[in-house]
Amino acid sequence: MPVSDVIPAIGVAAASIAFAPVLHAVSPILAISVETLIGCAIVAVVPAHAPSIAIFILFFQNLFVSILSSYIADPSDMEFIKGYNFLACSVMWLVTLGLRCKKSCSPLSAKLSTATSPTKTNSTPLPPPATVHVLPSA
């Protein structure tokens, strides 16, 4: 992955996990909703970066929580905020799985994939393999 692709992925991941404690201070329901939407958006917009974003989120969530820990009054809130990384990663994997299942299980996609091509293809038959000896009939 080139550096030009890594920097935006790290930026999205950092923004995702930095918003969780801040939004939790405003409202836990708002934080859950926004983290869920961020997970869906990551898979929808940059699906190729989802694994690297998930790994970054899992590694650095505790760092962001510890930086903002002085603003968190209740220790139970601290544990709840640490769970946002699991929420974001779970949503990303479930959305990916759902999109994959929808793509492979859709009757329309199955019908389209088995439809014949409208263009004619000219193909010549292949000669028999070298191990097969074809004898002329007399």
Q: Name the token pair of 59.
A: 């590694």
First to last CA, the chain: 64
CA separation for the pair 20, 80 (Å, rounded): 10
The string of pLDDT tens digits covering residues 29-80 is: 999 999 999 999 989 888 888 888 888 888 887 787 777 777 777 878 888 8
Q: What is the mean pLDDT of the chain?
A: 78
| Cα–Cα dist 133/80, whole Å | 74
> Beta-carbon neighbour count of residue 65 at 10 Å?
21
Q: Which two tokens stand for residue 86?
A: 């699991």
Higher pLDDT, 9 or 37: 37
Contact in structure between 38 and 16 (CB atoms under 8 Å): yes
